[in-house]
Amino acid sequence: MGSVTDNQQIASLPGGLAQRSVPFHRRYRAAGRFGSLVLGALTLAGCASMVAPKPKDPDALAEYEEANDRFEPLNRKMYNLSVWADKYSLRPVAKAYVWAVPRPVRSSLGNMIRTMNEPVVFFNDVGAGKPRRAGDSFARWCINMVAGVGGFVDVAKYVGYPHHDNDGGLTLATWGIASGPYLFLPMMGPSSIRDGVGYGIDQGLSPWNYVPRGYGLITFNWAYNIMGTINTRADHLDDLDQVQRDALDPYATIRSAYQQQRKALADSIKNDHRATVPDWYN
Amino acid sequence: MKTSLSRRFVLGAIAALALIAGLNRPASAAESATDFVRHLGTQLVGIVNSDLSSSEKKQKVLPLLQSDVDVDAIGRFCLGRYWRMATPEQQATYLKLFHQILVNAITDKLGDYRGVSFTIGSTTPSGEDQAVDAILHRPQQADANMQWIVSTAGGSPKVVDVIGEGASLRLTQRQDYASYIQRTGGKVDTLLSALQRQLDKHRAAEGD
């Protein structure tokens, strides 16, 4: 086992360095090559068990293409792990939260969380080149932060600026970037290569990840993230319970619904050609 | 000279007629699909918001589903490529089970939707069918966007799919079934027994 780790270090040396160290490690060279071969084979074998084999039958192949799930074995492992962890952690917490907190309080917390995410939506609207949508989210941010008392009341909705979704994955989609294979991220749920990258972009766009120390802002950020997670999970208690109960293969049902919804969202952003002036101006 | 003129006239007239008919048909199909969904939706919302007990509501909804939803077509779609592989007996059994499952799925939801209303938006052609946009307003919850896919292939308009927030119910169901069959050995019979188990479970839950 130890020799494998040694070989791994040798194998991972950059080319130039390996060349220079040849006289020194001549006798390790063959072993190093052998080791990297073994490692490569192991990695390939590891990957092979994580990648779903491509079916030969044309109908089955069409189904495989439609599912867009190259990494299905790995994804299913992550899915099972997440469902198991959710059952003993987030789901009971979300249920207790729904039980303890009355609906109006939950919905205003939901509003606050949504408003605090408005900057991310705004930057993505700008990135997608949709000025009308960007204007809407900017107006929502300003109105809800002031008239909505820090976002707890969604005043903007009543004055003609309803909420719309946007995130990094959708922005990349409007740039014509394909979703890539489906991914199920542990604890984060359904995603894809593109949406995973988009999630990283969103973290960079969210001002709350740049809060300075002091004034309790770090505490606020933690509370915001934890509350956001619980609140979002609570919103989906019934849906997810229903999928677990009614679907024959809940994993496939979630995969299908997620990919369809993402496609529909991306299409609705692409096809949004409304004028930049607000509705009341017309 | 005269013949060519009259030929031109006749051809022109035919083209004009075809154009008028062509312009006319999608508009009327869209209109009838919109009216159909509005009518069906009003009836459904009326039942959901009434003070009847849940079993009475179920009894009232059933005839609507029989007359306005093409359950057989949805069932065939959901079985996908396995429909062709199934024997006629399997097909008949499957459709019978699918009917009951769809009815259960819809009637289970009736209680959740108290106080709903809806607005009908625009209607656009979707393949050979018509897609009618609708927004569902639920009390204390965000509005839900949905599309009703209406087919007139069988003569009278019938619902063949509902798209909720971008996800087609029949497509999602088909991928669920396909994945289940594929992972349990590629046999239609395993699906049939799984559906039967679901129905038994539902009946047991209702009996409690």
What confidence tens digit (pLDDT) does each residue in A23-79 have?
A: 444 444 445 555 555 555 555 555 557 888 888 888 889 889 999 999 999 999 999
Supply A161's token pair.
Answer: 């600026």
β-bridge pairing B117-126 and A189-192:
unpaired
Can you give the pLDDT at residue B27? 52
Mean pLDDT over each residue of chain A, to the nearest integer:
83
Give the E-state strand segments of chain A in sequence order: 182-185, 189-192
Reply yes or no on whether the pLDDT at A16 is more than 60: no
- When CB atoms are compared, the residue of A253, A264, A268 closest to B176 is A253
Residues of A with a Cβ under 8 Å from any B Cβ are 59-60, 62-63, 66-67, 103, 107, 238, 246-249, 251-253, 255-257, 260-265, 268
At residue B132, the 3 state secondary structure works out as strand
Q: pLDDT band for A4, please (50, 70, 90 cuts).
A: very low
Q: What is the DSSP letter of B53?
A: -
CB pairs under 8 A between A and B: 62
Report residue A259 as tokens: 């990919």
Q: Do B166 and A264 touch (CB under 8 A)?
A: yes
Query: What is the pLDDT, as a whole number, of residue A262?
Result: 95
Tell me whether residue A72 is exposed, middle or buried, using C-beta atoms within 10 angstroms of its C-beta: 0 to 12, 13 to 18, 19 or more.
Answer: buried
Determine the Cα–Cα distance for residues A125 and A131; give it in Å rounded to an integer.
Answer: 7
pLDDT score for B208: 60
Lowest pLDDT segment from A18-22, A229-233, B9-13, B96-100: A18-22
Closest to B175 (Cβ–Cβ): which among A67, A262, A268? A67
The length of chain B is 208
What is d(CA A102, CA A98) in angstroms, rounded to the nearest whole number?
A: 7
Shortest distance, CA B182 to any CA of chain A (angstroms): 9
Q: Which residue of B has its CA nearest to A256?
A: B172
Task: List residues bridging with A182 in a β-sheet.
Answer: A192
- Mean pLDDT is lowest, of A12-21, A86-95, A114-123, for A12-21
pLDDT of A217: 80
Per-residue pLDDT at A83 exceeds 90: yes
Round the CA-based radius of gyration of chain B to a whole number and report it. 22
Residue B21 pLDDT: 53
Cβ pair B171:A256 closer than 8 A: yes
* Four-point Cα dihedral A102, A103, A107, A113, nearest 10: 40
Residue A126: predicted pLDDT: 96
Per-residue model confidence (pLDDT) at position A2 = 37
Q: Which of A245, A246, A255 to mutate to test the interface with B (most CBs of B within 10 A)?
A: A246
Closest CA to B43 of B118, B143, B140: B118
What is residue A31's three-state secondary structure? helix
Interface contact flag, A249 B166, Cβ < 8 Å: no
> Which pTM value belongs to this model?
0.80
Residue with tokens 């789901």: A91
Question: What is d(CA A280, CA A61) in angstroms, rounded to the nearest whole number?
Answer: 51
Q: How far is A264 from chain B (nearest CA, A)?
A: 5
Tokens of A40: 């490569």
Nearest CB among A251, A260, A268 relative to B168 is that of A260
Provide mean pLDDT across the span A100-125. 93
* Cβ neighbours of A247 in B, within 8 Å: 176
Structure tokens at B180: 């289940």
In which residue are the tokens 């997670």 written?
A: A229
Q: How far is A277 from chain B (nearest CA, A)?
A: 22
CA distance A255 to chain B (A): 9
Cβ distance of B105 and A246 shorter than 8 Å: yes
Q: What are phi and psi of A167, to 5 degrees?
A: -155, 175
Q: How far apart are the first and last CA of chain A?
A: 73
Q: Which residue among B80, B176, B182 places its CB closest to the CB of A256?
A: B176
CB–CB contact B172 A253 (8 Å): yes
Q: How close B1 gets to chain A, by Cα (Å)?
A: 51
| pLDDT value of position A41 | 53
For A171, the token pair is 């922005």
Tell me the nearest-neighbour CA distance from A241 into chain B, angstroms.
14
- The pLDDT, as a whole number, for residue A180 is 94
A18: left (phi over 0), alpha (psi -120 to 50) or beta: alpha
Point out the residue among A60, A248, A262 whose CB comes nearest to the CB of B176.
A248
**Average pLDDT rounded to a whole number, residues A5-34:** 40
In which residue ranges of chain B is pLDDT below 70? Answer: 1-27, 208
Element containing residue B180 per DSSP (H, E): helix B169-183
Computed on alpha carbons and rounded to an integer, the radius of gyration of chain A in Å comes to 24
Q: Is A227 helix (H, G, I), strand (E, B) or coil?
A: helix
B171:A265 CB<8 A? no
- Provide the pLDDT for residue A233: 92
Question: Contact at 8 Å (CB) between B43 and B159?
Answer: no
* pLDDT for A21: 37
Q: How confident is the model at residue A11 (pLDDT cuts 50, 70, 90)?
A: very low
φ, ψ (nearest 5 deg) of residue B105: -60, -40
* Top-confidence residue, B208 or A154: A154
On chain B, the residues whose CB falls within 8 A of the CB of A264 are: 163, 165-167
Nearest Cα neighbor of A114 from A160, A166, A158, A159 is A166
Q: How far is CA B188 from CA A107, B126, B173, B182, in A?
A: 45, 30, 15, 9
